[in-house]
Structure formats: C-alpha cells, structure tokens
C-alpha cells in the first residue's frame, strides 16, 4: 500500500488511470516491493513444513547438500543407523554397550521427603502394648514409622547410623519419624547410644502391670516352644519360700524402676512419656491424645477412629475408606493367657510391690497395679 501511495505522488498522471488498470499497477508494485524486502528466495513457509529451519533460509542450492548437523530428525536417524551398520561387528557391540551403560536420568527428584534418623522411639516394654501404640499413632498424617523392629541400639549398633537411617521411611520436614523396639528399655547400652545419636530424641515407654506382663510374655514363648517348663518353675527359685528368680527375663523386664534409673542418666524425665497398657485397652483415644501432645502433634487421632473388638478383647481401628475391613492387631495380640496358680500370682505381687512404688514416685504417677 505504501508503494501505491509513493507511485501516485511520483507520477501525477496516475489519477487518470481507470480503476481496473490502477489495481493491476498496484499489485505489480506490491510484488516488486515484496521482492525487494525478501531477497534470495526466502519465501515464508508453512509451520508444518518438514524442512529443517536451518535449510529454509539457506537457499535452494544448500538443499542439495545435507550435512549431518542440519538433517531432519528422521533423516538423522536413518544416517545414524546406516553409519552403525557400516561399522565392524566389534565396534557395533561396543556402541551398543555404551548405550546400555549410559545412566538414566536420576529419579530421586520424584521422591518426596528424606530418610531421617528418628525423632521419637518407642523403647519398651515387651508385651506392654507397644505394637498397638505404633499402629494407632501412625494413622496420624504427620507421623511416619519404620514397619519392623530395627534392633539397632541392642543388636545391630555396629552397622552404623547410616544403615539405621536407611531403614527409616521418607518424611517431610514437618513429619515425625518413629521406630519401635521394646527390648531397648532393658538394654544397658541403649540409653547412651540413643543419646549419642541425639539428645533431643523423645522416648515412649508403654508399661503394664508387671505380673500380667510376665504371664503374657510366658504365654507368647509357650506358643513357640510347647515343651517349656511351667511358669512357676521359671518364675521361682523356691516357691514355697517365695523366692523369685530375678534372672528370668520375663521377671526382670517388670523391674521398671531399675531400668528407668539407667535412662535418667542420659535423658531428663520430661523427654520420656509413659503410656498405661491398661488404659490403652479401656481408653485408647485418651492415651493417644497424650501421646500426640507429647510429640507436639495436633490431636487428629480421636475416639472416632476406634471400636472395641469383643472377640480379641482389644480396641481396633475402624475401617478406613480405602479398606474393606477394620484394622486389628495380629493373631498374636490379645491371645488368652495361660492359667497361673492364684498363690503364685500373689507371691509375685508381693515381690513387685516395692519396685512399683518406687517407679510411681520416679514418674510422678500411680498406675494402680496393686
């Protein structure tokens, strides 16, 4: 259009041209202007033109010669395959090996969180209800826990902290990492080793009437070893005189006050939370509320998550939306205890009484096991 205006100014006679003639002259001048602006055959091509962009502006002559760096993707693949086919067989194998050994892009960026050493550990006690506490608290969205007992601080300490860390689940910065190994509470080296890992570690101890706990411990062992001696034979050195065998592990674990003294050498009492194994059965929501407070978590696990299973005599988690059935502990939990002579039970209560009283005084709470 600019060319037409210039033409009308330079040639005054242009107004004498008829409409049709004027249009023809205008189109001719527009073509001349286009050729002047885009020399060398650089004609605009459609966006779906398969010709590589490096050839579109290089002129028609360059299209007769296609260097490898300026081939279309399809031509490049054909050229590469032809070159490889022309190589000796040994060279082809080496080329294939290089391709196979080329590492794929790292996938770590697709995983959320990091594996961290635990912020909290359920350290005891065996047959106190530790598995129930772990299963109940891990439904909290801000808690991630190792699924199995690691036994790092009692059996696998020589493997090192990095091995221990590798057993932990991936957690976000705001989440609590936990693990459970109840034998830690009665392991002499465990408090020192955990303190060496982190003095800030929070400890949870699930305690239970030591007499009931000992009978439960024996019942579990008997299910695995049917030829085990009787409970009385193992619990007493001399039952007629009421002399208890403190070396038997089932008895020794219940001496909570003695074990706690060892832990208090490395951790303040405020860093240890005690869960009542009895109240965990009668009021699981209440006990879990206190555990959540201790861990600094919002109270999300509440009574709406539990129901009492009368067959097992134990609380279970209600059916989650993603499951077809409720979540109860395994068959080994809530099993019927072996019947023990009433006199033996009273003798054990007399034995444990002073240790229990001392334990109540140490933790500032009466568990009412008498």
Q: Does the annotation list 93 as a binding residue?
A: no
Q: Does the annotation list 333 as a binding residue?
A: yes
Q: Does the annotation list 334 as a binding residue?
A: yes
Q: Does the annotation list 140 as a binding residue?
A: no
Q: Does the annotation list 41 as a binding residue?
A: no
Neighbour-count burial of 4, counting CB atoms closer than 10 A to its CB (0-12 exposed, 13-18 middle, 19+ buried): middle
- Are 276 and 367 in contact by the 8 Å Cβ rule? The answer is yes
Instruction: Give, for 272, the enclosing helix (H) or strand (E).
Output: strand 272-276
Three-class SS state of 144? strand
CB atoms within 10 A of CB 339: 8
Q: DSSP assignment, residue 318?
A: P
- Which residues in 106-137 are b (16+ Cβ under 10 Å) and which e? eeeeeeeeebbebbbbbbbbbbbbbbbbbbbb
- Active-site position among 127, 304, 319, 331: 127
Q: Does the annotation list 216 as a binding residue?
A: yes
Paired tokens of 169: 């689940």
Q: Does the annotation list 111 as a binding residue?
A: no
User: Annotated catalytic, 224?
Assistant: no
- Which residues in 183-193 are b (16+ Cβ under 10 Å) and which e? bbbbbeebbeb
Q: DSSP assignment, residue 127?
A: T
Residue with structure tokens 């002399």? 243
Q: Does the annotation list 181 as a binding residue?
A: no
Paired tokens of 146: 């190792």
Q: Does the annotation list 365 as a binding residue?
A: no
Q: Does the annotation list 199 as a binding residue?
A: no
- Contacts of residue 334, Cβ cutoff 8 Å, sequence gap at least 6: 309, 312, 313, 314
Q: What's the rounded Cα separation, in Å, for the pair 172 and 157?
A: 26
- Are 181 and 123 in contact by the 8 Å Cβ rule? The answer is yes
Three-class SS state of 229? coil
Q: Does the annotation list 59 as a binding residue?
A: no
Q: Does the annotation list 310 as a binding residue?
A: no
Q: What's the rounded Cα separation, in Å, for the pair 116 and 161?
A: 10
**Residues designated catalytic:** 127
Could you tell me which residues are annotated as the binding site for 3'-phosphoadenylyl sulfate? Answer: 127-131, 208, 216, 333-337
Could you tell me which residues are annotated as the binding site? Answer: 127-131, 208, 216, 333-337
């Amino acid at each position: 259009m600019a060319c037409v205006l210039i033409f009308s100014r330079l040639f005054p006679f242009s107004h004498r041209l008829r409409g049709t003639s004027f249009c023809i002259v205008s189109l001719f001048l527009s073509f001349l202007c286009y050729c002047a602006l885009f020399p060398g055959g650089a004609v605009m091509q459609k966006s779906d033109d398969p010709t590589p962009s490096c050839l579109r502006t290089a002129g028609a002559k360059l299209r007769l010669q296609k260097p490898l760096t300026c081939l279309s993707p399809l031509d490049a693949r054909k050229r590469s395959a032809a070159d490889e086919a022309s190589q000796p067989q040994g060279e082809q194998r080496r080329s294939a090996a290089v391709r196979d050994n080329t590492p794929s892009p790292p996938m770590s960026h697709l995983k959320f969180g990091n594996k961290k050493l635990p912020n909290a550990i359920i350290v005891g006690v065996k047959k106190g209800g530790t598995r129930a506490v772990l299963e109940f608290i891990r439904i909290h969205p801000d808690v991630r826990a190792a699924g199995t007992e690691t036994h790092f601080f009692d059996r696998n300490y020589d493997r090192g902290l990095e091995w221990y860390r590798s057993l932990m689940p991936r957690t976000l910065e705001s989440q609590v990492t936990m693990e459970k190994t109840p034998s830690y509470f009665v392991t002499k080296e465990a408090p020192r080793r955990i303190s060496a890992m982190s003095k800030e570690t929070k400890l949870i101890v699930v305690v239970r009437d030591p007499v009931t706990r000992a009978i439960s411990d024996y019942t579990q062992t008997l299910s695995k070893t049917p030829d085990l001696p009787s409970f009385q034979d193992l619990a007493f050195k001399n039952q007629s005189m009421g002399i208890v065998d403190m070396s038997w592990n089932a008895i020794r674990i219940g001496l909570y006050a003695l074990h706690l003294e060892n832990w208090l050498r490395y951790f303040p009492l405020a860093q240890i939370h005690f869960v009542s194994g009895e109240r965990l059965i009668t009021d699981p929501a209440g006990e879990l509320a206190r555990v959540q407070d201790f861990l600094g978590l919002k109270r999300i696990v509440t009574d709406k998550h539990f129901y009492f299973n009368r067959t097992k005599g134990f609380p279970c988690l209600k059916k989650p939306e993603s499951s077809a059935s409720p979540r109860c502990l395994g068959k080994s939990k809530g099993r019927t205890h072996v019947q023990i002579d009433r006199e033996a039970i009273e003798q054990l209560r007399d034995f444990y009484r002073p240790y229990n009283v001392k334990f109540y005084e140490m933790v500032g709470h009466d568990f009412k096991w008498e």
